[in-house]
Amino acid sequence: MVSYPKPQSKVLTKSTLSNSPVCLLFISTMNLNVAFSFFSAFLLVDTARAQTVLHDERRLRKTVAPTPSPTPAGVKLDQLQAFYEQTFFGGDPITCETYSMSEYDGNYETSFIVDGWASWGHHALQWKGYHHISENNGQGFYSPTQADTFNPPMSTIAYGFVDCVDKDDLNMIELASSQVYFDGTGSFVDPNGIWICLKEGDPFVGAVTAAMGMHYWGSPTYVNAHNCPNGICVVAAVVEKVTLCAQGTLPAHELCGWDDNVWDASVGSTDSCSAALILDSIEIGFFKGASNTDRFQPHNVITGAEWAMIYGDWSTKPIDQDLVMDPPVKKTEAELTNFHKHAAATAQNLQVVVEGRDGKLELVHASKAKPVE
């Protein structure tokens, strides 16, 4: 099993808060410096993407987008610093932890991703390419041109549609017989990892599930998205980072016993987590709708309350969203059930910051920040 460096936590004090612009920046995340072989330059080739017409009815359910909802009026991240200080510094510190996907610093703005119709599948395969090279000490390469011949999963022209069946497409494209990934000798290989899917309709359990996937496996999580945050209408998203905060000196994964679980043996408690965590922020890559020419925008930081406003497909209410991620080895149904239960337990007392009717910031249970169906 591949071992990823654990995210770094930092105990915050008034003095450190006063020097930090937002809570997200309190965390010192790993800076991935991957030494690529001469083959890895091929990974970044920006080849013009051939226009492909898909005949998959599953991906062409809709052709006309609904009228975009107004941009959600979320809390600005720079307001959270003072709010946390006023709320929690009655003697105890607050600890924030950022969980990050591996290969965060890779180039994902290639023509296959930026010019395609919300090509989240190309993004997933590109991430796997970086990961494959990184875990093989800079050896090997990935061919986005060859991957494109298999029509990687994508969102429809108007609607985001990340579906559990897409994991099978991704796993097929990664087979050695597809000739997409190579080792350092030029032989075709199936890179480590297998795409899986979990269904989760609650945006906050979804956020914690993504954070756990990063903590254990370094995997990004792909999910449907809607609405127009900051004037950008989105159809799908990749979760790149999640920041969770808690009162005291321990990070979220220790307070909620994430590392006490051995998923391969289905060992560990998944019943409850009494800690009142704060979903501080989420960093996501936006896959935009058809009206945009630059259809992918990475590294967008939004608050926990804003996350609830964009989670889910434009066309599905109530939402039952599919989360696609990639652990290093295949998981049994029992292991995935335990994993999912523990994410829900971690989120049961989750809080977010919202703006009250009087314009003042309030810390509320996440259930009160969900959009009205």
- 240 pLDDT band, cuts 50/70/90, is very high
Task: State percent of the chain over pLDDT 70.
Answer: 66
Q: Quick: pLDDT tens for 134-171.
A: 999 999 999 999 999 998 987 554 444 788 989 999 99
Give residue 67's pLDDT: 35
Q: How far is CA 64 from CA 59, 159, 231, 291, 315, in A?
A: 13, 8, 19, 11, 11
Q: What is the rounded average pLDDT for all residues in the chain?
A: 75
Structure tokens at 15: 């003095």
Q: Where are the beta strands (DSSP E) in 145-264?
A: 181-182, 196-200, 221-224, 234-247
- pLDDT over 90 (residue 76): no
Q: Quick: pLDDT tens for 268-295.
A: 555 678 888 999 999 999 988 665 566 8
| CA-based radius of gyration for the chain | 20
Structure tokens at 225: 């998205």
- pLDDT over 80 (residue 17): no
Give pTM, 2 decimals.
Answer: 0.79
Cα 74 to Cα 210: distance, rounded to the nearest angstrom? 21
- pLDDT over 50 (residue 60): no
DSSP string, 131-147: HHHHHTTT--EE-HHHH
- 82 pLDDT band, cuts 50/70/90, is low
- Residue carrying the six token digits 């254990």: 216
CA proximity to 129, closest of 116, 117, 146, 114:
146
Cα 113 to Cα 46: distance, rounded to the nearest angstrom? 10
* pLDDT: which is higher, 207 or 10: 207
Give the angle subtended at the CA of 247 by the CAs of 245 and 252, to the nearest 5°. 45
Give residue 102's pLDDT: 97
Q: Quick: pLDDT tens for 96-149.
A: 999 999 999 999 999 899 876 668 999 999 999 999 999 999 999 999 999 999
Q: How many helices (H) and strands (E) does the chain have?
A: 10, 12
